[in-house]
Structure 1
């Protein structure tokens, strides 16, 4: 696995983070980051091994942590580091005390605990709350050590930090610690990863093969509860492996928190570092759907993002916080505090917190009538629908047949998706064809233009949609009525209009090594001879010529030498035309 390596990764990472967030102060000798704080509020100090960013330093901010102390990679900071962090925070908060929020790992528990004992001997009021939310390691196996700490820890940071800001002047260190504990008591998390992460400065090592993944992997490359082989579909992974571990009341080993259908629940989907934002958003939607469908739970609040990583871990975790149970305890102990969700929503400037809008807002209303109203074009041109349908089906069939060749070409000179994009486009045409029966040709072509844009997307979809839309406009300018017949002359003139329309929006011309090298000869030859076969031959010749010069447009223009490869877009257009030709 390739990775960027740097000298002194922890020192430079902390310094870079402080440079990018100048509201924070870095003590480089002790690897402590902290902020200005309210002397009337309890200070919150968290920390642990580096490698989980944005945890811990990313959650130092108003309404969250007051400071963070960072250890070596995947290793607890020393007692000396932690104690120095306590002393720095206590200097500004000497009358309210310091709460240490600790992840339940042996080194962290020992060093933070010893630091708290030493701080108390110095006259600093200091307490420790240990967070454990993992369900992968059940009661039997984890009997002596308890649950590991995963992404749910960040919710403890946020909720306790908000409480400390709003209420710790009244309820003190003891009350703030109780809030941290009640949140912890209502958290469950499980992670899943396709592989181990790459630790900076170390060789990448893994026991998993390409057909395996780990269910319940920890945030330090620790094994989980099960190795899955083969790798299940993501929906299957969430539905049949992850959610049952969180919610099955009959799993006595893992039913740490009861959930009823009427309970209000917060869902947190966390990126372990190596999953794209795109997929994390998809996983979030899938998780919500499956919670509703199989467990009768509709999350009251959903949070998604990168909050607790394992460097570039190729996985994600799902956390559930039972708001109803947590609120019940909160309101029993602190009647003046509204609810947990209001603490989650309290504004924070912590740079790692993934929520940008803190006050709950309703989305804008939608005019459904407007969305359902279709744009109407002038209806002109009578034609043989069955014949057009056969031509389109034949063209689509040929493109689908040629997809592997087109994809191979695009892999050499582009991003490898041209074949798939063209197949999506022709399917967008043919799958909706039966709905066009009875329409005029201008209406049919206009709808095809819309379907192409929706099906293909991207640059290709836009260009082909403009081209086909131009053809429709050409028909409208040439014909006057619904019953006006469409002739070869009409088609030739409309094709010229479509090419002129396309040229308004792209500077690509013949000789640019694009689909235009096939399109322009086709249009010009058909306009001159009215012979479809000659026009297709001209398009084919144009497509082949693209292997004799370098591309000037599209992704192929970035390739050092594309002069010996035919343009895949041009080849795809010829395939479509050849299919029509065969049907003729």
Structure 2
């Protein structure tokens, strides 16, 4: 069948119908269509107090991850559109309303792609700010892109993610706590290598025939693309080769310790391992079996590796891609005692349609009682704190600073037109105007009431990466400020602000590698926070923020949209995000 031919031409309908079908093939599941969440029916949970494991990402990777929802793997999955991360609001709804409230905690597993990390991370911080116990594991297992090229971004997440959710899900099912589930998940990531190869690009439903033809012709006949991603990303190189030489090349990139750029994990013949062969979706089972046989033969002959377990099938697909991904996992000790090793977690029974085992007959025969209908309040209940910030003080300090940001829109837009996509000024203006309105809605001097209004306002009013970063940072700030709440009501101090801001900078590092020197808003934010923590002087801290923003003139971008914008002009203008933030911070300093 030509890649231009599909049974469904509407990608939205395809995603929703596919997700809805899971409730038919596994009757223990429920589907929140509005938020594209597949989750376990509460009445099917044998131990609702155990850790909930949540994953997700763009659609088009079926059966991962919606097909892994079920006993022994995931509690819920949040899906985006094809090859696009779900929105943070979808994930937040899942964490707040689609998991058992009595759960000991929530483990979120996300693949290492910017959209997934930011949107899942934003939801995680919002859940933490509301008192939820949440840990997040980011999976990067690809060796196709080496250290030199991947830089701060790190390894991409490939089908090794399936092993992470399988292991963590099995441990959670056995009652292992949140901290240990997260620790083991991160250990699995650090001991795993994966590499993909494909004969052609994939075709997304809804694309025209000519566009599909162009996609197919990007890779010449007889060529294999090694290191290809799961979203149609190009590989690291193309080669014309038979299967034995292809497997030899791939295993070399995965296991050769002399390749310093890709020697991410040292795996020796004495190590216990698991081999996973994942189908992109368009490789026949006949060829997949032959690929597995060749890989096993070369692992034994060349590396002396005899895997303890072998998993083959379509676990993390790429639509109709005629390719595959090899993954080797080195088994380490979980330190959790008998019956809770990595191997036993992989062997543990599963009741999910996507894992290569059948759903039990008992599932189909059981009549599950649906949960009682309940109306969800759009505004989450906010736990009170003892930190006070008077409404008058809030208004007198923030309003002038926000007005300065609004007034600077044209200037920031001009800068962003030169080095970005021209939307930074408008985004900051929208956020400032929405925040100004929010100030008038605050009816309490409890600072957590202010954050409860501010955080969703920023998320809904600001777009793009900057909006996500601000939202994550502010939710983290709310959580950290709550942790500083005294035993009795007291006015917020500069010292408390400094400490909470410093902790939030560290928290932001979980979702972005940006640091001063990368030409981002961090060039203004970090000097401000560091100076405030050191001196307690807001005016001096704001001055350092302005210096940091000015210093970005001529600085080559390491992250953000500016990385992809060619030409010159960045030598004469500061980073728009850092400049806009410094205007706001200096506005606060002037109002004090």
Same fold (TM over 0.5): yes
- 2:149 is aligned to 141
Instruction: Find 1:353's aligned residue among 348, 355, 362.
Output: 355
- 1:208 is aligned to 219
Whether 1:29 and 2:40 are equivalent positions in the alignment is: no
Deviation at 1:75, TM superposition (A): 0.4
Deviation at 1:3, TM superposition (A): 1.9
- 1:246 is aligned to 254
The alpha-carbon distance between structure 1 residues 186 and 357, as it changes in their structure 2 partners (threshold 3 A), is: farther
- 1:385 is aligned to none
The alpha-carbon distance between structure 1 residues 15 and 157, as it changes in their structure 2 partners (threshold 3 A), is: same
Deviation at 1:174, TM superposition (A): 1.2
C-alpha contact 1:94 1:124 (8 A) present in aligned 2? no
Whether 1:166 and 2:213 are equivalent positions in the alignment is: no
Instruction: Find 1:318's aligned residue among 304, 318, 326.
Output: 326
Structure 1, gaps ≥5 residues long: 359-584
State the alpha-carbon separation in 2 of the partners of residues 138 and 107 from structure 1. 21
The alpha-carbon distance between structure 1 residues 255 and 357, as it changes in their structure 2 partners (threshold 3 A), is: farther
C-alpha contact 1:32 1:69 (8 A) present in aligned 2? yes
3-state secondary structure, aligned to 1:253: coil
State the alpha-carbon separation in 1 of the partners of residues 15 and 246 from structure 2. 34
State the alpha-carbon separation in 2 of the partners of residues 236 and 356 from structure 1. 35
1:39-50 aligned at under 5 Å gives the runs 39-50=48-59
- 2:232 is aligned to 221
- 1:177 is aligned to 182
Deviates more, 1:57-66 or 1:336-345: 336-345
- 1:199 is aligned to 204
3-state secondary structure, aligned to 1:77: coil
Report the aligned-residue RMSD. Answer: 1.6
C-alpha contact 1:271 1:280 (8 A) present in aligned 2? yes
Deviation at 1:336, TM superposition (A): 4.7
Residues 231-289 of structure 1: per-residue CA shift (max 9 Å, x gap): 211111001x1000110011111111101111111000111000111111111111111
1:324-403 aligned at under 5 Å gives the runs 326-327=332-333, 330-331=334-335, 334-355=336-357
Deviation at 1:213, TM superposition (A): 2.0
C-alpha contact 1:41 1:93 (8 A) present in aligned 2? no
Segments ≥4 residues shifted beyond 2 Å: 16-21, 334-338, 355-358
Residues 277-335 of structure 1: per-residue CA shift (max 9 Å, x gap): 11111111111111001111111111111101100000011000001xx22xx12xx24
Deviation at 1:89, TM superposition (A): 3.8
Whether 1:186 and 2:197 are equivalent positions in the alignment is: no
Deviation at 1:18, TM superposition (A): 2.2
Deviation at 1:146, TM superposition (A): 0.6
Whether 1:256 and 2:264 are equivalent positions in the alignment is: yes
- 1:233 is aligned to 242
Q: Which has the higher contact order (CA 8 A, sep 6+)?
A: 2
State the alpha-carbon separation in 2 of the partners of residues 280 and 212 from structure 1. 18
The alpha-carbon distance between structure 1 residues 302 and 273, as it changes in their structure 2 partners (threshold 3 A), is: same
Deviation at 1:357, TM superposition (A): 12
Deviation at 1:193, TM superposition (A): 0.1
State the alpha-carbon separation in 1 of the partners of residues 206 and 296 from structure 2. 38
Deviation at 1:208, TM superposition (A): 1.0
Residues 72-110 of structure 1: per-residue CA shift (max 9 Å, x gap): 1100000110001111244x1444111110000000000
- Give the structure with higher Rg (CA): 1
Deviation at 1:355, TM superposition (A): 4.2
Instruction: Find 2:278's aligned residue among 258, 264, 270.
Output: 270
Aligned residues: 345
Whether 1:4 and 2:6 are equivalent positions in the alignment is: yes
Structure 2, gaps ≥5 residues long: 361-592
Whether 1:297 and 2:305 are equivalent positions in the alignment is: yes
Residues 393-432 of structure 1: per-residue CA shift (max 9 Å, x gap): xxxxxxxxxxxxxxxxxxxxxxxxxxxxxxxxxxxxxxxx
Whether 1:127 and 2:127 are equivalent positions in the alignment is: no
State the alpha-carbon separation in 2 of the partners of residues 190 and 139 from structure 1. 14
State the alpha-carbon separation in 1 of the partners of residues 175 and 95 from structure 2. 21
- 1:573 is aligned to none
